[in-house]
Structure 1
Amino acid sequence: MPRLEHRKPTPAEKQQAREVSLRRVGGLFRAHTRPLTVVVLIIVASSIIGMASPFLLRAVIDDALPHADLSLLVWLVAGMVAVAAVTAALGVVQTWISTRVGQEVMHRLRTDVFTHLQRQSIGFFTRTRTGEVQSRITNDIGGMESVVTSTATSIAANLTTAIATLVAMAALSWQLSLVSLAVLPPAIWFSRRVARLRREITAQRQRELADLNVTIEEGLSISGVQLSKTLGTAPALISRFTASSARLIDLELRSELAGRWRMASMSIVFAAIPAVIYLAAGMPFAQLSIGTLVAFTALQAGLFRPLIGLLNVGVQLTTSLALFARIFEYLDLPIEVQEPARPVVLENPQGNLRFENVTFAYAGSNAAAVAGVSLDVPAGTSLALVGETGSGKSTIAALIVRLYDPTAGRVTIDGVDLRDLSLADLSSIVGVVSQETYLLHTTVRENLRYARPDATDAQIEAAARAAQIHEVIAALPDGYDTTVGSRGHRFSGGEKQRIAIARTLLRDPRILVLDEATSALDNETERAVQRAFDELSRGRTTVTIAHRLSTVRAADQIVVVDHGRVLEAGTHDALVGAGGRYAALAA
């Protein structure tokens, strides 16, 4: 098939792949030293026991059969059967232990990556494609499964078998042993060349798989399908997916065939070695019995299997370093929002919120999104942030829930810096209802219980009633057990907002952040949601990002934000009377 174009790896990707060390890969198994030691002992025992078979065979040919010694023959044959049975039993135990260790390493790797990504800031997920993240966890970790579960034991088994076989061969004839090993240097050289080639191809393949995952995630999500149907872009998406899949075919073929002719040539050479052995045995200087020659050729055939196995493992391990590079790249990502080493615990939070000369700039931006902001929101009062789009209102809200940390200054609750509170405690103190409500693809009940796993059905229903959504849920075919659909698309915008309000009510936060939560609603729906907000805000410190000024007239404080700075602050009447920016917005 014709060669297809591939995305070239960036210099950073090449450097990352080179820097993965086998020591770090081996560190994944450090916690499993004891079972791996048992596996190695089993392998050694199995290899030593297995080496008895060629000597038993020589005794059968040279002693038992020529002398018609039936008793000796029975014992020798029984010994051969016993050797096979013991090595088979040991192999089963070895496979069980090594597979279990490998799966535990895979489990830890998956959970470590998932946990580390959960700790990343919103900025990371803004910069990174969702399909790329999914591909690292599924395709990359899945691709290294065979290496993780079998490589260590395969190396130990093949190496031990090869050493034991070499010792046995030397005991039978050291001259023929030298003839057998003449093929090793070129075999090692060929294997290293193949390994480097496959490693490069594997890195390209995983990047292509990530691109394919991105296409699937963007094209088959409910939002993506709606977009493609309304814009008529389905044919373009299909072409994009088809081209990516075709490139994968080419990469898979190149990966499988890389160096295959070289290795096939080596197999031919390996197969020709017995003929050379027989030729050497026929020379006048050779003093070998038939039994010794048969036993030696059996050992020689048994030697090449572990040697080829070791060479193949080397190829697989070098190839898999491209996968480890991509996983370690994620594990090495710095945590931008760190958990405090010694978190402060607020036993009875009141909800007094303060911004003390806070400045924040997004990564890669020269301009500050928030510049020198100072705010004081006493417990139980309400603050409204108003301003034009891009003025910094949502960034201020993001700092309250610690999606980002300030570049300078600090944000406090009851006098405690947010950076001194554990993230779990902070999320229990601060609740958020945003314009874009995210609902899981499960039942209404489980979507509500997601905020508070121990909530009873009665508490869930009470929260829904307070949020003015109980009647809507009760009218559904299965009530609270109705599946909401992907991202809650079976509900209207106002209904999703009220479900989000009920979910927040279950958590009972002391501080509430409402981020333009009614901006996309019609007037009637907005009034219904506003009634739910009034119930939600009662007795809580509330920060509202306002799109419509009519929703914040009664706020205790109204702050006008422009280019990340506070221009004005006061009540509605005071700001209108001042005739400044707020008065212009309210006009």
Structure 2
Amino acid sequence: MTGASRWRRIAARFRPHRRAVLLAVTLMAVSVGLSAGSQLLLRRLIDEALPRHDVTAVGWLCGGMLAAGVIGTLASVGQTALTHRTGLRVVRDLRADLYDRVQRRPLGFFTENSTAEVQARLVSDMGGISEILTSTGQSVVFAALGLIAGFAVMLALNWPLALISIGLALLLNLANNVLARRGRVLARQRQDGVGEMMRVVGEDLSLSGIVLGRTLGRQEWQRDRFGTVSERIGDLSYRQRMVGTNAWALSAVTFACLPPAVYWLSGTVFPGLTLGTVVVIATLQLRLSGPIQQLLQLSTTVQSAGAMVDRVFDYLDAPATVEPAGPVTPGPVPALRVRGVGYTYRNRRALHDVDLEIPAGSFVLIAGATGSGKSTLALALAGLLPPGEGVIEVAGSGPADERRLRELVTLVPQESVLFNASLRENLMLARPGATAAELAAATSAAALDELVARLPDGLDTTVGERGYQLSGGERQRLAVARGLLAPRGVIVLDEATSALDPATADRVVRGVVDHAGGRTVVMIAHRIPALHAGDRVVLLDGGRVRESGTHEELMALGGAYAAMGVRRDSVAPATAAGR
């Protein structure tokens, strides 16, 4: 992205706030104009009022300078408030758009990019952009207006000296651009390093990272890894700051020579200048050196911030293929049909031409060895992974896209995702308006009621970071209870009882089916739970459906399912619910 297009896109974000921007710029112009006007009053004070000892003129001129200073300060305060409020609103909207775009990226994006990298763009990069759009942006406009006003006054007083000053500013700008380009490259490298550091910290200083490092005796390696990344960021930061310092030093040395040059020119080349004119020109030269040096430094800052803007727009420009699911309204439980579904990851084929019937209100067990494609099929059924081949149909409605499937299916994954909040808050994420009776029914179905009764604060007990104040089995049961509360007609349990002992797992499965109340339950498991007559079993092998039928049919077949060592007496009597 070129510099012009980058800042054009940022400028477009200010269009809804153009009135506030116009008012802020007007207040800046008033402040700068009054400051420049006070210099003309100073010239008259030195050349006319003071030599004549005109007390009245001195009073009026000093009063005018005082009024200009007070009014200019008030205008500056007003524009600062407008600038910061408007800039922060633009940043808020930009950050929200970035969050929304990342949230709608396909699952592959999250497997290829670390969470820390996403956080770096949402927090660190957006923080840098916020600084540019508020304080830095205000300083740039102020300095530019100050230069324009100062040069205008100098042109009015002595145009040759004004042209010399303008030429000097242009030469300094050319020299600074060379340094600014280098600073931008270093800034992008530094921001990439910050993302890497956040990834390392997220991995090594999380609870799981601490446990891993201590149990494997790799704490020193973790510390060295962090130190390497930190040292790289420090080196890039030093080089980036030195680029800015060199630009400042170049302008500082140049402007140190200006006052003597003005006095020499006034005494030799332009001997007709009045004392007031000489003093005002020398004062303006010194006062202009500040905005020029500020613009040179800010130019480096803005160029460096361009790297952050590019990183943010890299995400904003990426396609967002996942549409939010619509509101779920009660309706008949759907029957699903999987037709020729296949899926290939970057380095392997996961599913091959899968055909599958999932009748409404049924219980379907999907079994198979590790790597057989069970979890991939679960993601496809839940509308989280679009099939590379084939379709998933809803009986009576035809092929369903991912959004439609997410409105019909809820997935309870093997790795429970819990927030650092209470059990109640984690449960009500699935149904914000859940009643106490509904929460109690869900926790009972997931065999979690005894735990809740033992906790001092019951459902209001905090589960800790990622739920680590609970055991693995308790986290899984909490996730199952949450899935039962979700208003979906199909529940997919992907190894959701893998951390439970067989007796508790069977109790949870029975509770899920009983609580489902006619909803479809699809269970993915290595360990075969207690089945009932009529329950369907699908055996995946190498991403293909190898066998499909009821438990009795597959045992009678004597094939791969029977060879898994499943007991014939694992079939329980049918329940009143129809299983």
Correspondence 1:358 to 2:341: yes
**Structure 2 counterpart of 1:5:** none
Q: Are the equivalent residues in 2 in contact too, given 1:373–1:565 (CA < 8 A)?
A: yes
Q: Which residue in 1 is equivalent to 2:390?
A: 409
- 1:524 corresponds in structure 2 to 503
Cα–Cα, structure 1 residues 224 and 105, in superposed 2: closer, same or farther, change >3 Å?
Answer: same
Corresponding position: 1:434 with 2:417: no
For residue 200 of structure 1, what is the aligned residue in structure 2? 185
Match status 1:491 vs 2:470? yes
Distance 2:453 2:374 in 1: 36
- Cα distance in 2 for partners of 1:396, 1:335 equals 22
- Report what 1:569 is aligned to: 548
Structure 1 counterpart of 2:569: none
State whether structure 2 residue 443 is matched by structure 1 residue 464: yes
Matched, 1:445 2:428: no
Distance 1:448 1:224 in 2: 27
CA contact (8 A) 1:428 1:507 kept: no
Matched residue count: 566
Shift of 1:217: 0.6
Q: How does 1:235-246 map to 2 (within 5 A)?
A: 235-246=220-231
Query: What is the deviation of 1:554?
Result: 4.4
What does 1:37-186 correspond to in 2, within 5 Å? 37-186=22-171
Cα-to-partner distance string for 1:75-134 (whole Å, 9 max, x where unaligned): 111100000011100000110011011111221222122111111222111111122221
* Equivalence for 1:11: none
Matched, 1:191 2:176: yes
**2-side partners of 1:75 and 1:18: how far apart?**
49
2:193 and 2:106 map into 1 onto residues whose CA distance is: 26
Answer yes or no: is the 8 Å Cα contact 2:505–2:529 preserved in 1: no
Give 5+ residue unaligned stretches, structure 1: 1-15
C-alpha contact 1:451 1:506 (8 A) present in aligned 2: yes
Partner amino acid, structure 2, of 1:114: Y
CA distance in 1, matches of 2:330, 2:398: 15
> Which whole-Å deviations, capped at 9, do the CAs of 1:5-60 have from their partners, x for residues lacking one?
xxxxxxxxxxx688963322323323322211111222222222222111111111
Question: Secondary structure of the equivalent of 2:355?
Answer: strand
RMSD: 2.3
Checking the alignment, whether the CA contact within 8 Å between 1:20 and 1:321 is kept in structure 2 is no
Aligned 1:242-321 pairs, distance under 5 A: 242-283=227-268, 285-321=270-306
Check the 8 A contact 2:513/2:521 in 1, yes or no: no
3-state DSSP class of the match of 1:369?
Answer: strand
**Counterpart residue identity of residue 245, structure 1:** S
Q: Which has the higher mean CA deviation after the structures are superposed, 100-109 or 487-496?
A: 487-496
Asked if the contact 2:244/2:297 (under 8 Å) is kept, the reply is no
**By how many angstroms is 1:421 displaced?**
6.9
Please tell me whether residue 376 in structure 1 is matched to residue 357 in structure 2: yes
One-letter amino acid of the structure 1 residue matched with residue 9 of structure 2:
R
CA–CA distance in 2 between the matches of 1:68 and 1:45? 31
Find the aligned partners of 2:5 and 2:395 in 1 and give their Cα distance.
46
* Aligned partner letter, 2:61: L
C-alpha contact (below 8 Å) 2:24/2:83 kept by paired residues: yes
1:577 to 1:457, Cα distance in 2 relative to 1, 3 A = closer
- Asked if the contact 1:484–1:490 (Cα under 8 Å) also holds between the matched residues in 2, the reply is yes
Alpha-carbon distance in 2 for matches of 1:262, 1:126? 42
1:221 & 1:147 partners in 2: Cα distance?
32
* Stretch moving more, 518-527 or 476-485: 518-527
Deviations along 1:379-416, one digit per CA (max 9) or x if unpaired, are 11122212221111111111111111112222133444
1:4 maps to: none
Which stretch has the larger CA shift, 536-545 or 194-203?
A: 536-545
- Report the equivalent of 1:386: 367
- For 1:359, the aligned partner's letter is G
The answer to whether the 8 A contact 2:125-2:308 is kept is yes
Contact 1:359 1:370 in 2 (8 A): yes
Paired amino acid for 1:467? A
Distance 1:17 1:209 in 2: 23
- Name stretches of at least 5 consecutive residues in structure 2 with no aligned partner: 567-579
Seen in structure 2, the aligned counterparts of structure 1 residues 415 and 408 have a Cα distance that, compared at 3 Å, is: farther
Identity of aligned residues (%): 38
Q: Secondary structure at the match of 1:455?
A: coil
Greater Cα offset, 121-130 or 457-466: 457-466
State the secondary structure of the residue aligned to 2:51.
coil
Give me the TM-score of the superposition, normalised by structure 1.
Answer: 0.91
Residue matched to 2:320 = 335
CA distance 1:490–1:528, change in 2 (3 Å): farther
In 2, the alpha carbon distance for the partners of 1:481 and 1:150 equals 43
Contact kept in structure 1, 2:384 and 2:406, CA below 8 Å: no
The residue aligned with 1:501 is 480
Q: C-alpha separation between the residues in 2 aligned to 1:299 and 1:417?
A: 77
Larger mean Cα displacement after TM superposition, 517-526 or 561-570: 517-526
For residues 346-404 of structure 1, give each alpha carbon's deviation from its aligned partner in whole angstroms, at most 9, with x where no partner exists. 76242211112222222x24x54222222222211122212221111111111111111
